[in-house]
A and B are shown apart, each in its own frame.
Chain A
Amino acid sequence: MKKSIRNLAVVAGGASAAFALAVSPASAVPSTVWTVSPSPASITALNSGNVALSVNGITMTCTKSNGAGTGASTTGNPATVGTITTMVFGATGAPCTSVLGPVTAVPVTPWTIVAQDYNAATGVTSGYVGNVDANVSVGACNFRVTGKASSTYTNSTGALTVNSLAGELTVVTSSGCGSAVPVGAKPTFKGKYLFKAGTAIPTIVGSNP
């Protein structure tokens, strides 16, 4: 009967893989110089569409989420082009929800925005949100999830699209969750955030001089 869960994982993983293939055509030469404009930038982020966390088939949704951090030009590959210093899931009157009830997600920041590849034709940087660390609770069930979440950043829209691949995030502690969310479970995280630096849309450009 474990087939059922495997099926779910295959579905989720398949969707993520298809997305990754669609948006991350590798450039011939990896970028090592990352130009963030403006730099340094004080960046705010607001979700566009709902943000979803799923673990063992239990879906949790946030209609409101926002964050703030900084961005700066840098070098290397992978390269940390940004830092998320505050992150909020849910809002007063609009908590994250699941069929089990409201979900509290308390991020442990800073998280990082890591660039790995740049497509000059589309202006899309692919990479991941790193150092992800958050405590999540639903009723008496509390767990902590850490890891990274694959993402892309699109210069034309200022959209950071997070779509974690299966296995990138892991439940490292769990209490009151029984077999529903055991240690070692692999949640997925999906959401889209619109970035602003003041009123401007920040951009990330990778190059290899």
Chain B
Amino acid sequence: MKGPRPTPRSSRARVRGATIAAFVALAPLLPAAAVAVGTLKVDAALPYVCTLPSGPQPATVRITAAFPERAEAGEEIRPADVTTTVEFPGAAVAELTALKAATVRAESRLAVGVAQGEQRAEATWSGTAQPVAVPAEGPLTLTTTGDVSSLTTGTEGELSLTAGAFGVDLALSTAEGAATVPASLSVACAPAPDAEGRTVFARVPVGAGAPTGGPGTAAPSPDASSPSSPVPGLPLPPLPSDPAAPGDTAGTATEDPGAGPRADEGLKAADEDTPGAPAPRPAAPPCVTKDPTPMSLSAYITGYSNVRKQDGASLIPLTCVLMEQGDPEIVFGGTEEEPETHLINKAVGRLSTQGRQETPPFKGTFLTFGFAPTTATLVLEQAGPMALYSDTLLSYPYNISETYVRVPLVLRVLDARVNGTKLDVGPSCRTEKPLSSTEPDPATYPGDHMVLVGKGLSTFGGDAKGYLLTGGGPLVGKVTIPAFKGCGAKGENLDRLLTASISGSDNYVRQIQGQTCNILNPFPPINPECTDDGQPYQVPRAER
């Protein structure tokens, strides 16, 4: 089970008018003193599986919070005293000590599914922790606290909260206070299979007609060290093990089978298409913008580059791109008879890998001369500014965009093995000039550089599709890989071998750009764009 499960639609189920508004605005935590009589206390410990660099590891995620035992329709429900604790086993801790980590500071994100009857909303509970010492052995417990979203629903009925995907970023420091290498780990976790049926951790009745017949209830949590403690003295009905289970009666008090929406009114479609919670952020290399401005954007990019001569492709790994966008401009063009309005966006960018303008190293495996398997460790080095130019034709009802990414890249060979035997390529084995593409505007953009193009389209009232400037998408092009020079050592010249194996034209490149992160965006987006420390949240996957 990965994240909250959608509630199956029972045959009796009808879409009701309830709409849950998960406030984007953050509600600061209430002090403990504000939580008095009439408070539902939640303490749930759930089994999770976390993906560490070495592979999946079991972990326990414990959620504590306090809710009002009952709320009125339209009343803001503010979770208080929220803590999220993750306990990693000793095996996971060993991975941190192997990096010489002595202290760790955690930032967590818990996807919380909020449901009322058929209605769904999602919230992310973020938390931070003070640095704690990494134990030499044994489990590591990290408790985070932070701001969480308040909830409001305009309709009566039981509100349930379900734990979903959990992510934690670990900032690691050595005993001397220096950053480890890597300096951080992003760990993605999902409820373990045996958590199924237990991920609902709180139920809050809303309105006098709420269906439970009692106050809010914390979901049973057999693993909790301190079991849920609803307000004493009030009768509690037996809880279904999962709101999704057959026979679930949540919401039946207000359900009116005859009052469902008309089939053509969109409610049904919207309900069936309820999106899920954002997945926790997979591990990705650091992508930090120092001294960001309001125009600073950052994004990850990854994808494949064919080597036509070898009839193969190399995966160019996740690479951080830092950009500085210019002011968008409206430009008028076209002809007198058919005038056009264009929106021009320009930006300059650079690759960023541990402070160097290059990709992380990646491997390419080729058959040299058609029979000798050759594996090379490669890196693309940026040899000049990256220019981004986006031209959007603003017609009605269409917006049509073309985005050009131009960047001079030199392909460097760090290491090569033929038939398993290492070749000493020397310290300066590179293409003799940058990779090049056919440039549609050579007067403006002279010199050798790669050109990738992304195309997007939106219609008035329709979803935008394709490559979207800040949303990302596929960027494609073809490059010529020049001859190599400087390859070899101890009198052996490998230039011709590598040139014969790799260099050539018409190599198709397809890179996938992720959603950009506008670090100083004052308005938090519905889908997270940035991590709490200002790095791109979305990690794209390479596509062929």
Is the pair A199, B17 in contact by a Cβ cutoff of 8 Å?
A: yes
Is the pair A92, B458 in contact by a Cβ cutoff of 8 Å?
A: no
Is the pair B522, A142 in contact by a Cβ cutoff of 8 Å?
A: yes
A199 with B276, Cβ < 8 A, contacts A44-B19, A57-B341, A99-B400 known: no
Cβ–Cβ < 8 Å partners of A200 in chain B? 17, 259
Is the pair A43, B154 in contact by a Cβ cutoff of 8 Å?
A: yes
Instruction: For residue B324, give the distance in angstroms from its CB to the closest CB of chain A.
Output: 9
Asked if B275 is at the interface of the complex by the 8 Å CB criterion, the answer is yes
Q: What are the interface flags for A1-35 relative to B under an 8 Å C-beta threshold, 1 for contact and 0 otherwise?
A: 11111011001100000000000000000000000
Is the pair B464, A45 in contact by a Cβ cutoff of 8 Å?
A: no
Is the pair A157, B265 in contact by a Cβ cutoff of 8 Å?
A: yes
Q: What separation, in Å, do the CA atoms of A92 and B113 have in the docked complex?
A: 11
Is the pair A106, B74 in contact by a Cβ cutoff of 8 Å?
A: no
Q: What are the interface flags for A160-200 relative to B under an 8 Å C-beta threshold, 1 for contact and 0 otherwise?
A: 00000000000000011111110000000010001111111
Is the pair A59, B399 in contact by a Cβ cutoff of 8 Å?
A: yes
Contact of A102 among B256, B261, B262, B470 (CB under 8 A): B470
Contact sample, A vs B, 12 pairs, CB 8 Å cutoff: A44-B154, A56-B341, A58-B392, A88-B24, A93-B276, A93-B527, A98-B458, A99-B469, A101-B470, A140-B518, A142-B523, A179-B327
Contact of A138 among B277, B396, B470 (CB under 8 A): B470
Is the pair A57, B278 in contact by a Cβ cutoff of 8 Å?
A: no
Q: What are the interface flags for B340-359 relative to A under an 8 Å C-beta threshold, 1 for contact and 0 otherwise?
A: 11010100000000000000
Asked if B334 is at the interface of the complex by the 8 Å CB criterion, the answer is yes
A57 with B394, Cβ < 8 A, contacts A139-B297, A177-B327 known: yes
Q: In the complex, which of the residues A58, A157, A175 has the most CB atoms of chain B within 10 Å of its own CB atom?
A: A58
Is the pair A4, B330 in contact by a Cβ cutoff of 8 Å?
A: no
Is the pair A180, B261 in contact by a Cβ cutoff of 8 Å?
A: no
Query: In the complex, given contacts A92-B121, A139-B469, what are 5 additional A-B residue pairs having Cβ atoms less than 8 angstroms apart?
Result: A46-B270, A63-B463, A176-B294, A180-B329, A199-B255
Secondary structure dominating the interface of B: loop
We find that the number of chain A residues with CB closer than 8 angstroms to chain B is 74
Cβ–Cβ < 8 Å partners of A181 in chain B? 328
What is the number of contacts between chain A and chain B, taking CB atoms within 8 Å?
251
Q: What separation, in Å, do the CA atoms of A18 and B156 have in the docked complex?
A: 40
Q: Which residues of A contact B (CB under 8 A)?
A: 1-5, 7-8, 11-12, 42-50, 52, 54, 56-59, 61, 63-64, 66-70, 85-86, 88-95, 97-102, 104, 106, 135, 137-142, 157, 159, 175-181, 190, 194-200
Cβ–Cβ < 8 Å partners of A92 in chain B? 121-122, 275-278, 526-527
A67 with B328, Cβ < 8 A, contacts A59-B397, A99-B456 known: no
Cβ–Cβ < 8 Å partners of A142 in chain B? 294, 521-523
Asked if B525 is at the interface of the complex by the 8 Å CB criterion, the answer is yes
Is the pair A199, B259 in contact by a Cβ cutoff of 8 Å?
A: yes
